[in-house]
Amino acid sequence: MEYNLYELKNGIRVIHQPIKNRVAHCGFIINTGTRDEKIEENGLAHFIEHSIFKGTSNRKAHHILNRIDTVGGEINAYTTKEKTCVYASFTSEYFERATELLSDIIFNSTYPEKEIKKEKDVIIDEIYSYQDNPFEQIYDDFEELVFKNHPLGMNILGTVDTVNSFKRDDIIKFIERNHATNKIIFSIVGDFTEKKVKTIINKYLNQPLKTSSSKARIPFKDYTVFNQELEKENYQAHCMIGNVAYSSKDKNNTGFILLNNILGGPAMNSRLNMGIREKYGFTYNIESSYTSYTDSGLFSIYLGTDTKHLNKSIDLVHKELKNLRTKKLSSSQLQKAKQQLIGQITLSEESKVNVMLGMGKSLLFFNKVDSLETVYAKINKLTTENILEIANEVFDKDKLSSLIYKPVK
């Protein structure tokens, strides 16, 4: 991966990957998310992500929405536990237009009181829509239980009460506390010369230096195993099984990505899919996932099934986990797993918007961006002993927690 790096006097870092393509992408990645909120602020980072589109000192809301859309481009944003991203996709001739617009909404948003009031209703509807979807809600509830009494356990959307409480002054204080210029990356993928990139970023990103007074993030330490069952007005039973896992900076991060892919990744030949859905037809949705944070991580398995198949499905999940703890992969199994993961990563490079966001995230949290060759080398370095050791640590039955939604009888 060839890319150019720049750092402005205010601390904003810019990364640009030149590619020969008529479509380009750029966006801000900010080192601020849900875990940076106080309890009474829960949902505020996400609320700000919505509110930045509601007007700036230069534009009204409809001008913002039309600026890129009228030339066929797209503008979007999302919030996670650790970052906020605001980005655009467009044809290359509109690079300056996109950069100017994104800079305007990041640095000049005014958060009109009238718009804040309307956006509260929108986000509360979003909260209710998640609560109507057990597949979505059980993920949030499980994470809240794993990271109990810690900012990582707080819901990204917040609660109805916290969202209703937000005022314009809360937004301004949160931004002042968290949106320091040295915690911001501007990432670009597109067919632009170095001279053009420098000219545009110096024109629009040279904002006044702003340092942050926020405290360091609180590391998560106090995981306690739990097993909970709740009755819900659902047709199916829904189940989550999981454990804390490795941080994004842990030496076992790559190995666990591979192991999770074997167990329940997106491919149809994952062990959970083959051993439960394909063999028995007990479930339509079954998957495992691994989310890594800068100081912790979460491993989880989700399945939805008819209540009569629930216990059998859970037993089969534990059988697959036990097999990975007790039976070392053969060299051919490991090689096939490596080939599959490398292939998936290579295919994902086709989405240049994901490449742009990935570069920004990597620079933000690791101060570097690994080439594909470096990523492949990390995967190929893994041994069967590595994978067995990781399986025994994360899949330890005594460390696994569970949350089950059962239909009301």
User: 13 forms bridges with which residues in the sheet?
Assistant: 7, 185
Residue 65: per-residue pLDDT: 92
How many angstroms separate the CA atoms of 137 and 129, rounded? 9
The sign of the CA dihedral 104, 105, 106, 108 is positive
Note the pTM of the prediction, 2 decimals: 0.94
Q: Which of 180, 183, 188 is nearest to 27 (CA)?
A: 188
Q: How far is CA 393 from the centre of its chain?
A: 24
What is the β-pairing status of strands 4-7 and 401-407?
unpaired
Nearest to 317 by CA among 261, 255, 239: 239
Identity of residue 344:
Q
3-state secondary structure 172-238: HHHHHHHCCHHHEEEEEEECCCHHHHHHHHHHHCCCCCCCCCCCCCCCCCCCCCCEEEEEECCCCEE
The answer to whether 34 and 154 have CB atoms below 8 angstroms apart is yes
Whether 400 and 226 have beta carbons less than 8 Å apart is answered as no
95 contacts 192 by C-beta, under 8 angstroms: yes
Domain 227-407 in the same topology as domain 4-205: yes
In words, the CATH class of domain 4-205 is: alpha beta
CA quadruple 333, 334, 338, 343: dihedral, nearest 10? 0
Tokens of 306: 């008819």
The superfamily CATH assigns to domain 227-407 is Metalloenzyme, LuxS/M16 peptidase-like (3.30.830.10)
In sequence order, the β-bridge partners of residue 10 are none
Give domain limits for the chain. Answer: 4-205, 227-407
* Element of type H or E holding 61: helix 61-69
One-letter amino acid of 56: T
Report the pLDDT value the prediction gives residue 1, as an integer from 0 to 100: 63
Residue 293: CB atoms within 10 A of its CB come to: 23
Q: From first to last of its 409 residues, what are the pLDDT tens digits of the chain?
A: 689 999 999 999 999 999 999 999 999 999 999 999 999 999 999 999 999 999 999 999 999 999 999 999 999 999 999 999 999 999 999 999 999 999 999 999 999 999 999 999 999 999 999 989 998 999 999 999 999 999 999 999 999 999 999 999 999 999 999 999 999 999 999 999 999 999 999 999 999 988 876 668 999 999 999 999 999 988 999 999 999 999 999 999 999 999 999 999 999 999 999 999 999 999 999 999 999 999 999 999 999 999 999 999 999 999 999 999 999 999 999 999 999 999 999 999 999 999 999 999 999 999 999 999 999 999 999 999 999 999 999 999 999 999 999 999 7
Residue 273, both tokens: 């899919």
- What pLDDT is attached to residue 215? 67
How is residue 20 written in tokens? 């020969």
- The pair phi, psi for residue 282, each rounded to 5°, is -80, -25
Structure token digits, residue 280:
């028995």
Can you give the pLDDT at residue 330?
Answer: 97
